[in-house]
Structure 1
Amino acid sequence: MTEVEQKPLQGKRIVVTRSRSQASELCRQIEALGGVPFEFPVIRTDFPSDLQPLDRAIAQLADYDWIILTSVTGVEMFFARIEQLIGTLPAGLRAKFAAVGSKTQAALERQGVTVAVTAEEYVAEGLLRSLGDQVAPGQQVLLPRSNIARKLLPDALRERGCLVTDVDAYRTLPVVGEASELIARLAAREIDAVTFTSSSTVNNFVAALSGSDVKTLLGDVVLAAIGPVTKETAQGHGLQIELMADTYTIQGLVETLVQHFTTKR
């Protein structure tokens, strides 16, 4: 293959820290661009250990004015539990749906839901701006989210006078896997980049490498974060994030990697 024909990530070995069930999209894009993904999942998702709060919210769906989903996983777990309990969304719901990001919107639309508001930015702050004055004091808002989601969104909605039910639709759990192969590859300078798609992936990645000199192992590795919250978490661990996606999506993360390695080449 000539240099002209080379794909933009040709031969680049890139660590994917997403859960194994979520990693396929990122791995496919890396491979399509000539890269070599190294899967090192550090998180997994499951239903909450206590399902009663989620089940109560589902039983009271008719009471809500807004149902806000902040991630694809949240959509999948929320609707999976709805299917287990009542089959489908009840007919005639008055609730409007809002989503953080186009991927979450698309996941809702696959469930047959019309999305009234989608955040222009892929963070909670973006959704607040997109909602504007469409949410009113006294309205009931359901937030089915991760057990470790930030409190900014529900707190801000309560400040607007909304009655917020912030319920765990799923929990994000650490994966304790064998890190010896990754450590060996890092030590041998066989890894070009590590991708972080959430604060959880950062925290658990660092924990997985505990006992090793993480800063030395990552000294020549490009660290890429999907957005500012993830970047801030990494910096809190003393990691230097070289790349951050302009658009806080998997596609945006890949585009940032492509731009970096193309320029570097």
Structure 2
Amino acid sequence: MSANHAKPFLGKRIVVTRSRSQASELSRMIEELGGIPFEFPVIRTDWPEDLGPLDLALSRLGEFDWIILTSVTGVEMFFERMKQTNGVLPAASSVRWAAVGSKTAAALERHGVQVAVTAEEFVAEGLLRSLGDQVAPGQHVLFPRANIARKMMPDAMRAKGCEVTEVDAYQTLAVTENVEELVRALQANEIHAVTFTSSSTVTNFLSALPVYDPRSLLSGAVLAAIGPVTKETAEDQGLNIDVMADTYTIPGLVEALARFFTTNSR
């Protein structure tokens, strides 16, 4: 195997837009394949402005038939708040847990939870298909989620006749650092790719560049999205996504981008 195939990112600077606390996995994988991660976090997570609804839900977990988590961040914030409020998990026989994605399921299992259903796909629609007929009308479902999470899944559960409680387990906030450095690197064509790992990374990335034409600024870079929802958000805002992961995970995104660079000299 040639060096370029072993290191498909050799010498390439790749922008990582994940939050500072989440960037390390993607940055490490970029480095392992010869690339140079340019960390430009455009989001950070924090507690919701009002913890009341989350605390109320945590105090009555035994009343729910299903608890559904859609991200690792949601899991960690959920259990951290449980610890802070001295919450107690309901008996395993009284509630079932579901997760979007294997990493979310693994995070739940690290907290001693047995996951009944894991999404076949790493999007909410995949979880809905995986749940199938296991969710019955009249059941009570809890969604601890991000403040900006999509409504498709809770609305679909309501359409099945479920009693759905949505609570913000965390909020996603926009941050901007090193904007001038990034703009200079883009203008000098020193950035080879920009990765988007959620719709909020797209929106906040563009918001960080208000005085620039993003399509012109990004014209020399390969744009990579983690999945179809992120891709759609980017394209709705006028960006052209060159690469989309087949599996909607960080490793899937890296694999798709590596394949692109291996087959396209750019």
Give the TM-score category using the shorter length: over 0.9
TM-score (norm: length of structure 2): 0.96
Kindly provide the CA deviation profile for residues 31-52 of structure 1, in whole angstroms up to 9, marking residues without a partner as x.
1111100000000001101000
**Residue in 1 that maps onto 2:173:** 173
**Residue in 1 that maps onto 2:251:** 251
**Residue in 2 that maps onto 1:190:** 190
More displaced, 4-13 or 16-25? 4-13
Letter of the 2:33 counterpart: L
Kindly provide the CA deviation profile for residues 62-114 of structure 1, in whole angstroms up to 9, marking residues without a partner as x.
10100000000000100110111125524456110000011101111111111
Aligned length: 264
Give the Å deviation of 1:212: 1.2
Kept in 1: contact 2:40–2:178 (CA 8 A): no
**Residue in 1 that maps onto 2:99:** 99
**Residue in 2 that maps onto 1:71:** 71
**Residue in 2 that maps onto 1:85:** 85
CA RMSD of aligned residues (A): 1.3
- Paired with 2:76 and 2:62, the residues of 1 have a C-alpha distance of 20
| SS at 1:195 equivalent | strand
- Paired with 2:25 and 2:78, the residues of 1 have a C-alpha distance of 21
Give the Å deviation of 1:176: 2.9
TM-score (norm: length of structure 1): 0.97
Q: 1:148-227 alignment to 2 at 5 Å?
A: 148-227=148-227
Kept in 2: contact 1:64–1:139 (CA 8 A): yes
Give the Å deviation of 1:213: 2.2
| SS at 2:68 equivalent | strand
More displaced, 83-92 or 176-185? 83-92
- Paired with 1:90 and 1:13, the residues of 2 have a C-alpha distance of 47
| SS at 1:54 equivalent | helix
**Residue in 2 that maps onto 1:115:** 115
- Paired with 1:5 and 1:161, the residues of 2 have a C-alpha distance of 52
Kindly provide the CA deviation profile for residues 122-167 of structure 1, in whole angstroms up to 9, marking residues without a partner as x.
1111000000000001100000000000100000000101000011
Kept in 1: contact 2:14–2:38 (CA 8 A): yes
Structure 1 moving runs of 4+ over 6 Å: none
Structure 2 residues without counterparts, runs of 5 or longer: none
| SS at 1:133 equivalent | helix
Kept in 2: contact 1:61–1:93 (CA 8 A): no
Letter of the 1:80 counterpart: E
Kindly provide the CA deviation profile for residues 172-219 of structure 1, in whole angstroms up to 9, marking residues without a partner as x.
000033400000000000000000000100000001011012111111
